[in-house]
Structure 1
Amino acid sequence: MKLISWNVRGLGKPRAVNRLRNSLRGNHPHILFLMETKLDRRRMEKVRCSCGFVFGIDVDAVGSRGGLSLGWKHDIDVTLLSFSGSHIDAIIKEDEAQWRFTGFYGNPVEHKRSESWSLLRQLESHQNLPWLVVGDFNEITYSFEKKGGRLRHERNMAGFRDVLEDCNLSDLGFNGVWYTWERGRLAENNVRERLDRAVANPRWWDLHENYSVSHLSHTISDHFPILVDTVGQTMQRPMARGEVFRFDANWVLEDEAAQIIKNCWESSSATVPEKLHETGCALMSWSRDHKKQTTAQKRAMMLKLKELTSCDPDEETLAELIEVKLGLNLEADKEEYFWEQRSRSNWLHHGNQNTSFFHNQATYRKRKNIIKGLLDINGEWVTEDRDLLDVATAYFKNLFQTSSPSAATTILEKVTPKMTTEMNQVLMKPFTADEVWMAVKCMAPMKASGMDGFPALFYQKFWGIIGPDISNFCLAILNGNADMEEINNTQIVLIPKVDHPRNMADFRPISLCNLIFKIVSKVLACRLAPMLEPCIDKAQGAFIPRRQISDLSKAYDRVEWLFLEGMLLKIGFAEGWVRLIMKCVRTVTYSFCMNGCNDNRFYPSRGLRQGDPLSPYLFLVCAEGLSTLMNEAHALKTIKAATIGRERLVVGHLLFADDCILFGDASVEGASNMKGLLQNFGNASGQRVNFGKSLVFFSSNVDPSLREQIGMLLGVRVSLNPEKYLGLPTMVGRNKKEAFSYYMERYNKKTNNWGVRFLSMGGRKS
């Protein structure tokens, strides 16, 4: 069992928390005792849990002073005995034995030090177990435990020796530098003392014959962390990395990587996609050797740090010490980037969590996303990777195969033009390099990359090197002087929607587009978005500025390209603009990434991609066809709209992407007209009603037999209440607690399983 005790001198800044976690990750402690956290319990609990110590106790700081925390892993049996602002006392069960641990913090005020010794004597009188006391005692036993500064008073040192003798506690010794506290960067004012230590009674010594105590190197705080290993063993965790190229985020901190990119880019006369491929190959080759070199360099810096901290301080030594610490801090930053990228925890701002969180999150994601088996089209369970790829390919080939819509013309004839000449002139202006850069700049840096392996971070960080070529390449496509087939390759990854998926319907397909294509698409989306406000019916509320925004995926898969193109033209978009949009849609090719295998390329004939910046806006254009049919039906009174409120507001339908509420009169004729309208829209657009998730709700004065008849006609469930729309209850009423109880249950269910995320309850709520 490993235990770390550390006076951290404040954890209020994210950088200090990051360094703490990085130190813990390298040593893998089972128990963590922290002093001078300078945080209240709520904030300290969040820090502790994010370090992987979900179980523990935290003691409030008093203003900007003090604060304690004791945390332990889930598999450690700890029983809390007592705590105060100066100690935390507990019993620890290890294998078949149990022993007592006290995390101790001596009063930093000299004339109050005797109060700390009285507390230690009081604790000793309440136990007869093997006892280990670790912490910052704020005192030394003898004058040789201090170098520099004013001399310690003998009475103070004697008081410390006396209390150790009275409590039958002996120093456990240490490995590493002799001191645990340092202050002063200049030789003339440098002070070093051994204020932190581990002491134990003879029974604890007998129980742990092979123990070890180490003064660990550090780059934050003026105190050294103390590591107590009860069995004296070192744990190592191997790391493996796949051969598929992925740009590592930590390479942006490597000067060598920047030089490789510069050399590859400037020495090649190939096309932009070929340059990207050459650069990726060069970086992957470099990274194999660089990783070994980095490990060796980091080990050498740690040894150098130990050597320097053992030397007598002079100007040269202290300057070199600062340089080594800066180097280790840089390596810690690189490691945080590496694991943050792999964890895909985009909801965390960089600095709030570090490698402990990211490493465990990456491991959790990898384990969850592995597909162990699937039911094929014949209902047989397959487990081989090749068979799994074939099952997925067959499913999506069918899903993305056009149904050759027959009713498109009927709907398109009813659509009225809304684009003006002036609006089209804005759309058709020549694209500029500034638009390309703005598209790159606003992308999330570490979102998953496409088949080329480059995230937005690569383009943003090295734009000074690659920017001119990227801009010219994108502008050639946007201004109609080049094709985009070469960059429009999309990789589909499958994310489980349920805990134990068995068939393809249990997965959510995510499309990973090459980022250079996403730049082109983003530029188009930025021009298109402002034009949709006057073109889209007010009943639609998704993806329009000043209206609500949502995320969706399933509705995209069945969009018919012919219908989309027809809607764009009928709304009045210029033919040149429509050709450019449809080029983005029609030139796509798909392949699958499943359990690390990437294969089975095919060409779709319908559908939009989640992950393409244009897709949300193009789906709204398709959904405008449904609004057109509903508005016509209301005008012809084949379907009656609802009137709401005293002002008699007429509402016929509400659309939010693929979620909608349709209003009509409770009659067989009205229901039949509604069903026919939906069928016509589906035949034209490729969309299908999800009857499993649909329902019909009636007002209270509708006859029960009529309700049942209409429900059977529509083929959906009849509900006695309107249930939820967009995840929220459509009607609340007076009993708000009952209406929203479902969400508290879901919240509790999710947070109960968040131990892997290392977040406190406060962190989960935020």
Structure 2
Amino acid sequence: MNLLSLNCGGLGNPDTVRALCALVQREAPAMIFLCETKLCGREMRRVREKLEGYYGLEVDSMGRSGGLAFLWKKDIECIFVSISVHYIYFTVCEGDKNWRVTGFYGWPSVSERHLSWELLRVLKGQMDLPWIGDANRQSMLDRAMCNEPWLDMFSYATLHHLDREWSDHAPIKLILDKRSTEAVTKGGFKFEQIWLGEEGCEDAVQRRESAESNVRKRKKIVAKIGDLSRQEELYWRQRSRALWLKDGDRYTKFFHNKAGERKRKNFIGILIDDAGVERVGGEAVSKVANDYFVELFTTSNPINFEDVLNGLEGRVTDQMNGYLTADYTEDDIVEALNQMHSLKTPGPDGMNGLFFQSYWHLVGSGVVTTVLEILRGERSSAESAFTPDRLITDNILIAFEVFHHMKNARQLDGHMAIKLDMAKAYDRVE
């Protein structure tokens, strides 16, 4: 089910009505909330008749300002709750799900903003069911708000801002259900912060037991833990990325909601491939992303680098160059590890910085050996996506040196730089 909400900016123009009909036909919403129709009820009903298959309720405009309309498909059961010049309030009965929806249009004047909040507080007192509402106010334009029971009911709901066409407001489209074509995939293995406090965790690392075995043991261990509140808090804190709030604050519900919000925000349901075709679903989306980065990190074998570099004045002294080209050491790797945030961006194996920082005395020697082999070019080129003897940042450094030279040059004849499809140039590492 989809919901569409739009501040129309007036529906008195036939072209605007045609644009609205095209938008509704394209998005096929189950419910529509329109504000600032600037029409009386009779005029708005004529507009609704052009949107076939909808029931509706209208609020007259005050002169040529305001005006609301709420439309719903004829196969949906909507029960009227209350109405005013600022909102339309319904209960939606959808099988065993009963929830409420409010289309809200607040006072446009800043000096009257407090009246909008007071009215919302009154409406909140009537929210004994899961609730979703659209807000159109000067301080919160084109937004949707909901309470926690509604978010639990529609955990996969997503909000999209569509392109502006005739109004200065973006239509908002609320998709309630997860796409049927999306595969339900379980998240990959990640080293959990809560495991650190468990007896036997270090022994498991030392014995190099498989990740799958550790996950099974974790489930058995967690079942025996007496203090579940702290374990759950740490678990959801890591996923919420609310890293400014320290563990121990006993605010598991906050972490849980933050994690759910982050998951919905980061979910990628559609990607467009190089041919301009939309790819939907886990495997198709993953393939588009993988192909993009393979292309990005594959060399195009550029030539004539020396000709470009010969025209630049050197800025790196021999002493600086000696420092930059010195061999990497174990201390460099340890320093880099300690600068990593412990809970961010685990590797492909699910191990984050916290794992290596906690068990460096067990795994450090192996990590150092592997990293140094890669940095020194001792590993096969098939194991690395990078070109030997070249860094990703080479292009940025060259561009910086060119513009630095132009900025500080004193020649009277001057210099000129030409930007040739810079976005395209930076689509590749080179």
**Coarse TM-score class (shorter-chain normalised):** 0.3 to 0.5
Q: TM-score, normalised to structure 2's length?
A: 0.48
- Flag the structure with larger Rg: 1
Q: Higher relative contact order by CA 8 Å / sep ≥ 6: 1 or 2?
A: 1
